[in-house]
Amino acid sequence: EPEVTQTPSHQVTQMGQEVILRCVPISNHLYFYWYRQILGQKVEFLVSFYNNEISEKSEIFDDQFSVERPDGSNFTLKIRSTKLEDSAMYFCASTPASLTASFGSGELFFGEGSRLTVL
Amino acid sequence: DAKTTQPTSMDCAEGRAANLPCNHSTISGNEYVYWYRQIHSQGPQYIIHGLKNNETNEMASLIITEDRKSSTLILPHATLRDTAVYYCIVRVAGTGANNLFFGTGTRLTVIP
């Protein structure tokens, strides 16, 4: 069964360092997402991406964050200068169709996450 | 912000049906109800969704009240592997993206 894969599974970094989290969405999917979950807290939406541009972003997704689809398979989240409060599990997700366009499955396929620890 | 209200936690005996309620009294006419779950700290997993009709798939059934202000997710024969946090989500009508906003969910514990 196709799945979303994320690397690394765990990254430890020093405050102020840049981090890139990588995701390989399911191959025929069109929308890509990043969510994060601080330990013990809710799963929070960060950003959605479609047709090589950001569709929507949350207040959390400030200038420190950026996303990119550098080739036909990878989808990356970059944090330019990490802060202690960026420590969290970061989940990538993808979906094959737009809910508003086709009211399709509405099923987001999530990866297993990348745990980021900022020291 | 999440537009749903769920109990914080529930227990269910293994093999019995687990009935997880959700209130979404401000749901709009074109908004769907989605259910996801998160096992331990894994990525959320889609379970089922519906608009106004009851739905069933291999994982669960979704019962939506006629006024659409509440719904119930039913796991017909709960197993230990169903222990997870279950999220009821009303999709926010947006500009074209499929963003889902998670609340705090219901922590379901299946007891042997």
pLDDT tens-digit profile of B25-70? Answer: 999 888 889 999 999 889 999 999 888 889 999 999 999 999 999 9
Cβ contact (<8 Å) for B99 and A50?
Answer: no
Average pLDDT over residues B101-106: 91
CA torsion A66→A69→A70→A75, rounded to 10°?
90
Asked if the C-beta of A55 comes within 8 angstroms of chain B's C-beta atoms, the answer is yes
> Which of A10-24, A34-48, A86-100, B31-45 bottoms out in mean pLDDT, i.e. has the lowest?
A86-100
Closest listed residue to residue B104, CA positions, set A42, A100, A76: A42
Cβ contact (<8 Å) for A50 and B101?
Answer: no
**pLDDT value, residue B94:** 45
